[in-house]
Amino acid sequence: MNNSINWLVFNYLQTKGYKRASENFLHESDFMNNVPKFRTNRDVNVIEYLHSRNTTSKNSAEDYQKSYSSAHLWIMETLEIYRDELFELLYPLFVHFYFDLKVKGFNEEANNFFENNKSHHEALHFEELNLIKKKEEEIREKFRTEKYTVELSDYPFTMFINFIQQSNFVLILKTLNQFINVLILPVKERKKLAKRREKREQEQKKQELTSFESDNVLSYNQQGIQIGIETSFYAEEAEINENDPENEKEKNQFSDLVVLDVDEFENLRYQPRKASIAFYTFFHCYEKLNTIELNPELTYIAAGFSDSTIKYWKTNYKENGSGNSIEKPVLLSGHSGSIYSLKINSKNTSMLSASGDGTVRHWSLDLGKSLVCYKGHYGAVWDVDFFTDNYYFATAGIDKTARLWALDYSHAIRIFAGHYSEVNCVKIHTKNQYLATGSSDKTVRLWDIRDGKAVRLFKTQDGHDGFITALAFSHNGNTLTSGANDGSIITWDIRTGKKRKKFKDHSGSINSLDYIKRNEEVFASGSNDNTIKIWDYQESPKSYQTKNTPIYRVMFTPENILLATGPYKKIDFKKQK
């Protein structure tokens, strides 16, 4: 069987005219010496052979899932420079496998196959996947009668053919031969191919943005949600013993998570002391510094740079100001792209970094070394955020998706797809059951992490006029605040999905937001306009101006000291004249 498959692959490449690919395959294989009865048969019919080896009775639903899963895993683990090209080949395979299962009467298995694997393609084919379910017969007819064209450069296609040959996947080769037109481009055409792909994505983005008004905001925001209840992502897997004293201890630990009304919080209002802001300025690095991270105890300060490096400093910060000092920085290297986001866990033992190389890394702050590299996004990762359990984390990327990860899994365990443009920021809800995302499509969405579905769409006619750049939840979890690059800030009522209030006092992009502790109506914002503002629903905002330092990060400590930081921007006096 293996020799037959080898010859079949070789013959397929020749009949399709893929001369270089067939030569590479022949060079890497020794099957020609082992199949004399096929060597002289130049009239072998690929389709007849496939039908003789691949009848309906011999292919179960499991064969389709196995073939697809193996191809997906192989593409995910291949070289990054070829992954985007090869992934375009996976989409028509997915669609045709779904239709094959339907035609063969495996209706339940087909639906399960579609639901289990559609998340792989929602980032680039979201609207098409919806149409498949709504107009299945029409789409199937189109896919069956018109070959789906995929543009590939020569080498990744050769690798894919070798994978089929080594894994003996006749189903993939059959679909490839009958329904997919692979357009092979020489290596020198790779740049042109990349430009055409980028142009198509831009045109698609324009179409999606213009059709965005068709979204039914009301249908999203009428869905029921739970706020104020601590829900573990893996609670369904755990067996709870009501008589266990440890469980009673845990109940008491979270007893203060009950939702309180605004009036009740008014009685808990905790006013910060007069000297309420501690500001840390970075010098001589404005052009290459992208992100800064602090922890509430201010024992660590970390910075990410455009040269793909990270530096962090240990501090001996004390609240009364005595003994403050900063140790020499620790340099972290491992990324191959700019660093765009950093997040220190609540135990101050490790840190996550998001990079333009499409990966996220988990670092040990004690060892100063990378522990794990997480791959999955197609393009830059803009933001990352830890859950309070320090085990799960979420990311936002240029591929229009947010993703949920666990520290001991190399692949994402949830993909949140639905935005029409890149996702710029992600924030975990205070009760860990939801996460919020902000996008360049000027909307904010709230997702249920249990099933990956959007439960709120925050959008109004007088909403943000710019890309969403920052998010923050109030501590009772009832309010979500979003900031945009047009300087606007909006607070949203999570229970109803409606806008509470819009603030427009900044003149630059909003980089960071954070709520004061034990108060649901006071929060701080940091902007590129070199100002920090403290907002209060009951009062006008208080503004604090720096000399020439844009604010990259604001964070309240448990004592309500506002920590803030940014890079000093050198003043060009010649331009001022």
Length of the chain: 577
More confident residue, 576 or 299: 299
Q: Which of 178, 210, 242 is the last residue of a domain?
A: 210
Q: Does one domain contain both 178 and 237? A: no
In eight-state DSSP terms, residue 438 is E
Confidence of residue 29 (pLDDT cuts 50, 70, 90): low
Q: What pLDDT is recorded for position 176?
A: 85
Q: What pLDDT is recorded for position 129?
A: 82
Confidence of residue 202 (pLDDT cuts 50, 70, 90): low
Tens-place pLDDT, residues 246-260: 444 333 332 232 333
Q: What percentage of the chain carries pLDDT values higher than 70?
A: 72
Residue 503 pLDDT more than 60? yes
Q: Does one domain contain both 255 and 170? A: no
Q: What pLDDT is recorded for position 351?
A: 96
Question: Is the alpha carbon torsion for 172, 175, 180, 181 positive or negative?
Answer: positive
State residue 296 phi and psi, 5-degree precision. -55, -30
Is the separation of the CB atoms in 332 and 309 below 8 Å? yes
Q: Look at residue 114 and tell me if it is in a domain.
A: yes
> How many structural domains does the chain have?
2
Residue 398 pLDDT more than 70? yes
- Tell me the CATH number at 203: 1.25.40.500
Q: Does one domain contain both 109 and 247? A: no
Q: What pLDDT is recorded for position 301?
A: 92
Q: What percentage of the chain carries pLDDT values higher than 90?
A: 28
Q: What pLDDT is recorded for position 82?
A: 77
Q: Does one domain contain both 385 and 534? A: yes
Q: What pLDDT is recorded for position 17?
A: 57
Q: What angle do CA 437, 544, 291 make, to 5 degrees?
A: 40
Confidence of residue 274 (pLDDT cuts 50, 70, 90): very low
Confidence of residue 195 (pLDDT cuts 50, 70, 90): low
pTM: 0.61
Q: Does one domain contain both 164 and 235? A: no
Residue type, 173: L
Confidence of residue 36 (pLDDT cuts 50, 70, 90): very low
Q: Report the helix count and the strand count for the chain, using DSSP H and E.
A: 16, 29
> What is the mean pLDDT of the segment spanning 382-405?
92
Residue 162 pLDDT more than 70? yes
Tens-place pLDDT, residues 61-77: 888 998 998 888 888 87
Tens-place pLDDT, residues 40-62: 333 334 444 444 444 444 568 88
Tokens of 422: 């890149």
Q: Which of 181, 210, 239 is the last residue of a domain?
A: 210
> What is the mean pLDDT of the segment spanning 100-126?
84
> What is the mean pLDDT of the segment spanning 455-479?
87
Q: Does one domain contain both 199 and 230? A: no
Q: Does one domain contain both 201 and 230? A: no
Give the β-pairing of 277-282 and 562-567: parallel
Which run of H or E residues covers position 73? helix 61-76
Q: Look at residue 427 and tell me if it is in a domain.
A: yes
Q: Does one domain contain both 228 and 167? A: no
More confident residue, 484 or 253: 484
Q: Does one domain contain both 182 and 41? A: yes
Q: Does one domain contain both 175 and 251? A: no
Confidence of residue 361 (pLDDT cuts 50, 70, 90): very high
Q: Look at residue 353 and tell me if it is in a domain.
A: no
Tokens of 203: 């045109």
HEC-encoded secondary structure of 292-357: EEECCCCCEEEEEECCCCEEEEEECCCCCCCCCCECCCEEECCCCCCEEEEEECCCCCEEEEEECC
Q: Does one domain contain both 508 and 444? A: yes
More confident residue, 104 or 10: 104
Residue 482 pLDDT more than 90? yes
Q: Which of 161, 180, 210 is the last residue of a domain?
A: 210
Tens-place pLDDT, residues 80-96: 677 777 888 888 999 99
Residue 31 pLDDT more than 70? no
Question: In terms of residue numbers, what domain contains 131?
Answer: 2-210
HEC-encoded secondary structure of 250-283: HHHHCHHHCCCCHHHHHHCCCCCCCCCEEEEEEC
Using only C-alpha atoms, the chain has a radius of gyration, in whole angstroms, of: 27
Tens-place pLDDT, residues 137-152: 888 888 888 888 888 8
Residue 16 pLDDT more than 50? yes
- Tell me the CATH number at 401: 2.130.10.10
Q: Does one domain contain both 132 and 254? A: no
Q: Look at residue 576 and tell me if it is in a domain.
A: no
Instruction: Give the span between the Cα atoms of 330 and 311, in whole angstroms.
Output: 5
Residue 208 pLDDT more than 90? no
Q: What is the mean pLDDT of the chain?
A: 77
Q: Look at residue 449 and tell me if it is in a domain.
A: yes
Residue 227 pLDDT more than 70? no
Q: Look at residue 308 and tell me if it is in a domain.
A: no
Instruction: Give the span between the Cα atoms of 132 and 118, in whole angstroms.
Output: 11
More confident residue, 212 or 477: 477
**Closest Cα partner for 416 from 449, 372, 373, 462?**
449
Q: Look at residue 351 and tell me if it is in a domain.
A: no
Residue type, 367: L
Q: Look at residue 544 and tell me if it is in a domain.
A: yes
